[in-house]
Structure 1
């Protein structure tokens, strides 16, 4: 993550000097851990709601081979962020994009995920083409209104 951040900062600094078409290859390097974090609706591992669905959002590692050119970059082929809800048996893919506006990182969000009444263990994971992966989980408790 530190290399990606440095590359993005370097890109932004040069872009301010009139280099409009600068593109850098960024991503986690050897020995750096892949990661994913759920940030919304909370960074805590537990959330309660009376709603029938919940949308999650967060950030994740940048896969090698991704490029920054301006504030929105291009993710390396084969990168995906997926989710699964054990309570309902449903799973799907999240929308993911490379945010190069500051520290380069992948931003992601799910469409609304249906919730069962009671406890919903939801896992989210990022996987790149080389098998690097990061994950996080949240337990969402849905109460009846």
Structure 2
């Protein structure tokens, strides 16, 4: 009886694995949706943990950036406890006197220890700072692993 239960469990596991092939994405996570949702959670971890964005500290317009321009995660920010009320369009022509502000997040890079993400914030002309942050996944979701490292200052 016990052997039959083990065989049944093993057969179920093989069937489940065979019916859900992995697409390219994060190791151990299926497909691009998992990658996108992890990207969102990593960004939210930096937004809350490093920048301290929240109801009393509203972020400047959000700018999601990738070198190839092919990265557009569809994030439900409320799911992660953060809000980005406006977005930044770098291609929009600016008028003289316009205040240019943004918080920028690059596409996270994942490895066996978690993720690294480049971010930056611009408060105004010659008033900004870039950082590189290590983010790890655990019981509490994605969280900062220590302090972010400065990469640029203006």
Q: Relative contact order: is structure 1 or structure 2 higher (C-alpha 8 Å, sep ≥ 6)?
A: 1
Higher strand share: 1
Q: Give the TM-score normalised by structure 2.
A: 0.29
Please say which structure displays the higher CA radius of gyration: 2
